[in-house]
Amino acid sequence: MPNLISLPIFIFILIYSIILHEVAHGLVADYLGDPTARLMKRLTLNPFPHIDPIGSILLPLLLIVTGSNFLFGWAKPVPFDPFNLKNPRRDSALISLAGPATNLFIALVGSILMRLLIFIELPVLSTIGMLILPVVIIINISLAVFNLLPIAPLDGFKIVGGILSEHRAKEWYELERYGFIFLMILLISPGLLNIIVGPVINFLRSLLLPGSYGGFI
């Protein structure tokens, strides 16, 4: 977890990783025929339209203060209208998948850049990069894995709904009303959350963080 010096870096990277996650939802929705996010001017990197007081500020700070092994958060969801989509169930799943996929892509790019910096050995650039890039990688891995949990309102819930048959999907979406309860149980039970997402996050960290940086945070 960050110290007082690196805390501003953590917060900045977390907020913009969440924003890019949400903008990706809107861009894919626009590509699939729903311009709602674009018309509502939510396809912006300006943080203010996206910030959710609880998910973007209070929860990350709480996780930092309590020394959590993982850092999560969320922004105000980018709206989309399924009635504008050609195949609402499938396209909704693709829109949901876009967010975690973007976070994993950012983590992959960060991993490639880290390895390049290690290879080219430019002292000043390497020092700055090795301070920032591990944070980028770990935050985006954590956001991707957390959001892929099949619990409403997380992206994983809609992704599962898009994979299931129409009959099974209707039964699945009946569980949506309980999603917030399940999510709160996870968030107030760090040990349980660690059991569920920890192995996946640690595996991806071992793949994307070179050498000793696997234990950076």
Q: Using CB atoms within 10 A of its CB, is residue 88 exposed (0-12), middle (13-18) or buried (19+)?
A: middle
Q: Which of 74, 57, 66 is nearest to 188 (CA)?
A: 66
C-alpha–C-alpha distance, residues 186 and 205, integer Å? 22
Collapsing DSSP to helix, strand or coil, 87 comes out as coil
**101 C-beta neighbours (distance < 10 Å), count:** 17
Instruction: Give SS3 for 66.
Output: coil
Query: Are the CB atoms for 82 and 91 separated by under 8 Å?
Result: yes
Find the helix or strand (DSSP H, E) in which 9 lies: helix 7-31
End-to-end Cα, the chain, rounded Å: 5
Q: Taking phi first (over 0 means left), then psi (-120 to 50 degrees means alpha), and beta for anything else, what does residue 151 get?
A: beta
Instruction: Enumerate the active-site residues.
Output: 22
DSSP character string of 156-170: HHHHHHHHS-HHHHH
Residues 114/43, Cβ–Cβ less than 8 Å: no
